[in-house]
């Protein structure tokens, strides 16, 4: 006979065990998964690992299987978030109670007119009613847990530093962070579990500078990046899968946004949506900290306060010697002279980052403590994503006379830097550009290949003002 006290203790331990097993699965799925698990347990007895929690769900319960579009983000064409998005034979299925109230397919995943991609036709997504669910999806689905970011872009479009980080990731993070305003969404939002690129074979998403992959691993070392082979494996298995949460990002869908007429770029569509303050900061922090091992901290004057203090705020000139866009030689000398004088005066500490000659980590070590970044219009300006946001943080971008592609202005506005566009000795900030009369706002004039004139003292003047004005005078 076992003493009563021992029985009580054993019973208590049993309870703790049951509670801990059941409380460690994602709650949405738990009930349904567990119902299945009980059936299997009869056959297999006890498990020494968690195979009893087979990620299978039962699709015969209509309450459960309905796909939710998250309300706020369903208005952002090209960046749509779904809870319980189904996938079978290479097609997405959303199960909607009222299919007519669902966002229009062309704002989710339309024909890729711009890319002439045969694989991406409207037949890639279907919106079905709960009554039809078993017909299309069968009676069970395998769960792909956590949040999946699905980038529908194709190779070679995707293999570009700016397009990956400045459009797909920035847009996706902006929309994803907006979920925090949706009632009933559990916070903090889980990290993306996987990035899925159904149209991209092998490693063709990688950019020529070789930074997209490393930056992604820095930010999310445990997150997988899956390409077309993953997609094809699932087709081969001929099962129904359900993404616990998925965001479908589609460039042609994004272009259907009315905001495109104002901003022209893929991320135009996200510009109108409310997001938490500093929505980009967690990404910037992870990438910087996981690459360098520390996160520089700037004080109110823009001076690096830690971990290694700087003498003055850091001004970084992103210089590119290859590439078609160059500053003319005279301007280059004038610019370096004007910047050096500022440094000698103690207004700033000047760093020149030669993109071609330094590794990404070396570049990041400087960018991550930079208050003002200057450089010619081009991919290098994407580096501002890793620059800390502060009241003084500024991006100064040089353009050919009369040209104004606004790619990096959009990045600056998204991540909280003040952006100046400079044409030789004339400049404008985004709030002034529409009235300036210098350029037709947003037009993409053909970029001529002549070297660009830049008046050094004009740049020095902007920097001086941004670094020496009182904080309150920095806001127009």
Helices 456-468, 329-345: axis angle to 10 degrees equals 30
In the bound complex, what is the minimum distance in angstroms from residue 140's beta carbon to ligand NAG? 11
344 counts as binding ligand NAG under rule CB under 6 A: no
Nearer to ligand NAG (CB atom), residue 260 or residue 455: 455
Q: Which of 189, 453, 461, 464 binds ligand NAG (CB under 6 A)?
A: 453
455 counts as binding ligand NAG under rule CB under 6 A: yes
Of 419, 391, 394, the C-alpha closest to 406 is 419
User: What are the angstrom distances between the C-alpha of 455 and each of 109, 385, 402, 442, 448?
Assistant: 46, 26, 15, 23, 19
Q: Please say whether the beta carbons of 120 and 109 come within 8 A.
A: yes
Nearer to ligand NAG (CB atom), residue 320 or residue 455: 455
Cis upstream peptide for 188 (omega within 30°): yes
- Read off the tokens for 31: 């009930």
451 counts as binding ligand NAG under rule CB under 6 A: no
Of 195, 202, 93, the C-alpha closest to 150 is 195
In degrees and rounded to multiples of 5, residue 386 shows phi and psi of: -105, 10
146 counts as binding ligand NAG under rule CB under 6 A: no
Write each residue from 48 to 67 as x if it is in contact with ligand NAG (CB under 6 A), else as -, in one continuous string: --------------------
Nearer to ligand NAG (CB atom), residue 138 or residue 146: 138
Neighbours of 411 (CB within 10 A): 25
Nearer to ligand NAG (CB atom), residue 299 or residue 448: 448
Which residue is it, tokens 């998403």?
205
Q: Please say whether the beta carbons of 181 and 72 come within 8 A.
A: yes
425 counts as binding ligand NAG under rule CB under 6 A: yes
Nearer to ligand NAG (CB atom), residue 142 or residue 281: 142
In the bound complex, what is the minimum distance in angstroms from residue 331's beta carbon to ligand NAG? 8
List beta partners, residue 318.
353, 375
Q: Which of 223, 256, 358, 424 binds ligand NAG (CB under 6 A)?
A: 424
In the bound complex, what is the minimum distance in angstroms from residue 94's beta carbon to ligand NAG? 20
In the bound complex, what is the minimum distance in angstroms from residue 167's beta carbon to ligand NAG? 32
In the bound complex, what is the minimum distance in angstroms from residue 58's beta carbon to ligand NAG? 16
Nearer to ligand NAG (CB atom), residue 280 or residue 398: 398
In the bound complex, what is the minimum distance in angstroms from residue 57's beta carbon to ligand NAG? 17
In the bound complex, what is the minimum distance in angstroms from residue 424's beta carbon to ligand NAG? 4
User: What are the angstrom distances between the C-alpha of 124 and each of 15, 112, 138, 155, 225?
Assistant: 46, 12, 18, 18, 21
Q: How many amino acids of this chain bind ligand NAG (CB under 6 A)?
A: 6
CA-derived radius of gyration, the chain: 26
238 counts as binding ligand NAG under rule CB under 6 A: yes
User: What are the angstrom distances between the C-alpha of 120 and each of 106, 172, 186, 229, 386?
Assistant: 12, 20, 32, 16, 33
236 counts as binding ligand NAG under rule CB under 6 A: no
In the bound complex, what is the minimum distance in angstroms from residue 158's beta carbon to ligand NAG? 29
Separation between Cα atoms, residue 83 and residue 42, nearest integer Å? 31
In the bound complex, what is the minimum distance in angstroms from residue 138's beta carbon to ligand NAG? 6
Of 79, 133, 435, the C-alpha closest to 269 is 79
Q: Please say whether the beta carbons of 210 and 197 come within 8 A.
A: no
Write each residue from 94 to 133 as x if it is in contact with ligand NAG (CB under 6 A), else as -, in one continuous string: ----------------------------------------
Nearer to ligand NAG (CB atom), residue 91 or residue 357: 91
Q: Please say whether the beta carbons of 214 and 242 come within 8 A.
A: no
Nearer to ligand NAG (CB atom), residue 130 or residue 453: 453
Nearer to ligand NAG (CB atom), residue 231 or residue 360: 231
Nearer to ligand NAG (CB atom), residue 113 or residue 425: 425
Please report how many Cα atoms fall inside a 13 Å half-sphere around the Cα of residue 388, on the Cβ side: 27
Cis upstream peptide for 365 (omega within 30°): no
In the bound complex, what is the minimum distance in angstroms from residue 455's beta carbon to ligand NAG? 4
Which parts of this chain interact with ligand NAG (CB under 6 A)?
138, 238, 424-425, 453, 455
């Amino acid at each position: 006979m076992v003493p009563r006290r021992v029985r009580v203790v054993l019973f208590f331990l049993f309870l703790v065990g049951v509670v801990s097993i059941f409380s460690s699965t994602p709650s949405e799925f738990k009930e349904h998964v567990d119902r299945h698990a009980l059936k299997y347990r009869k056959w297999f007895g006890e498990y020494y690992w968690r195979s009893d929690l087979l990620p299978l769900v039962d699709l015969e319960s209509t309450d459960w299987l309905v796909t939710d579009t998250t309300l706020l983000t369903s208005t952002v064409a090209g960046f749509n978030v779904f809870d319980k998005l189904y996938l079978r034979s290479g097609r997405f299925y959303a199960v909607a109670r009222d299919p007519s109230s669902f966002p229009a397919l062309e704002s989710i995943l339309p024909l890729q007119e711009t890319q002439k991609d045969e694989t991406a036709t409207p037949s890639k997504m279907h919106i079905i009613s709960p009554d039809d669910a078993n017909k299309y999806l069968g009676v069970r689905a395998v769960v792909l847990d956590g949040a999946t970011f699905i980038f529908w872009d194709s190779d070679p479009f995707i293999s570009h530093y700016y397009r990956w980080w400045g459009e797909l990731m920035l847009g996706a993070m902006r929309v994803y962070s907006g979920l925090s305003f949706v009632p009933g969404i559990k916070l903090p939002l889980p990290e993306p579990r996987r990035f899925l690129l159904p149209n991209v074979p092998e490693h063709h998403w990688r950019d020529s500078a070789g930074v997209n992959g490393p930056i992604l691993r820095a930010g999310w070392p445990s997150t997988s990046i899956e390409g077309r082979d993953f997609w094809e494996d699932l087709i081969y298995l001929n099962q129904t899968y359900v993404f616990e949460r998925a965001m479908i990002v589609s460039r042609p869908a994004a272009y259907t946004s009315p905001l495109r007429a104002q901003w022209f770029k893929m991320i135009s569509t996200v510009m109108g949506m409310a997001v938490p303050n500093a929505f980009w900061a967690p990404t910037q922090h992870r990438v910087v900290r996981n690459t360098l091992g520390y996160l520089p901290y700037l004080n109110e004057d823009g001076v690096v306060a830690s971990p290694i203090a700087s003498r003055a705020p850091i001004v970084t000139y992103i210089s590119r010697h290859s590439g078609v866009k160059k500053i003319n030689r005279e301007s280059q000398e004038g610019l370096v002279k004007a910047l050096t004088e500022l440094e000698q005066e103690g207004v700033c500490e000047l760093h020149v980052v030669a993109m071609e000659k330094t590794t990404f980590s070396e570049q990041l070590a400087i960018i991550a403590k930079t208050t003002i970044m200057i450089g010619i219009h081009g991919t290098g300006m994407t580096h501002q994503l890793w620059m800390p946001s502060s009241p003084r943080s500024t991006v100064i971008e040089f353009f050919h006379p009369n040209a104004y592609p606004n790619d990096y202005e959009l990045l600056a506005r998204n991540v909280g830097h003040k952006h100046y566009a400079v044409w030789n000795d004339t400049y404008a900030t985004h709030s002034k550009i529409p009235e300036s009369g210098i350029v037709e706002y947003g037009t993409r004039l053909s970029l001529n290949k002549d070297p660009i004139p830049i008046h050094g003292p004009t740049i020095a003047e902007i920097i001086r003002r941004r670094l020496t004005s009182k904080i309150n005078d920095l806001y127009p």
